[in-house]
Amino acid sequence: MQYASVAPSAEGPAESLVSLPKRESTPWLDRAGMLTSALCAVHCAASALAMGLLSTLGVAGLAAPAVERVFLTGAVLLGLASILPALRRHRSLGPTLWFAGGMVLLLGLRPLMPEGVAEAAVVMLGALAVIRAHWTNTRLLSLCC
């Protein structure tokens, strides 16, 4: 079994030398999570801000609640599948906190917002937080494992 040493740095979460088994990371889950979150943000912003245009183009079905549930379910599942297992490897709560904050915005605050610019802003912030969680997770995994 190969081991990787992680030295403390300004970027990394390590406070002392740590020896961890070198394992193949799963950055594709984080990339898929970033893509899903970005698509979700674009979808929700377009739905909230351009409903008339979507109807004119004949693609108003893209704003259906079922499409929204697919994006949110995908974001939650990809986040849980990539961030929680990685937490055991890099031992940094940063990605988990970014992900949780994004989910609070998307699943908790967004349904309380009136449709329009306020809702789109909450969705964008939530999606950016989830994207940041996956990006940070990928960086930490590349540093430690």
pLDDT digits (tens, 9 = 90+) for 46-72: 666 665 565 665 655 555 677 778 888
> Is residue 32, in this structure, part of any structural domain at all?
yes
Structure tokens at 45: 């912003």
> Is residue 21, in this structure, part of any structural domain at all?
no
pLDDT digits (tens, 9 = 90+) for 108-123: 988 888 877 788 888 8
> Is residue 132, in this structure, part of any structural domain at all?
yes
> Is residue 135, in this structure, part of any structural domain at all?
yes
Mean pLDDT value across residues 91-108 = 93
> Is residue 44, in this structure, part of any structural domain at all?
yes
pTM, two decimals, is 0.66
In whole angstroms, what is the distance from residue 112 CA to residue 116 CA? 12
> Is residue 18, in this structure, part of any structural domain at all?
no
> Is residue 3, in this structure, part of any structural domain at all?
no
- Residue numbers of the domain that contains 83: 28-144
> Is residue 23, in this structure, part of any structural domain at all?
no
Structure tokens at 125: 């912030």
Beta strands at 3-6 and 18-21: parallel, antiparallel or unpaired: antiparallel
Number of structural domains found in the chain: 1
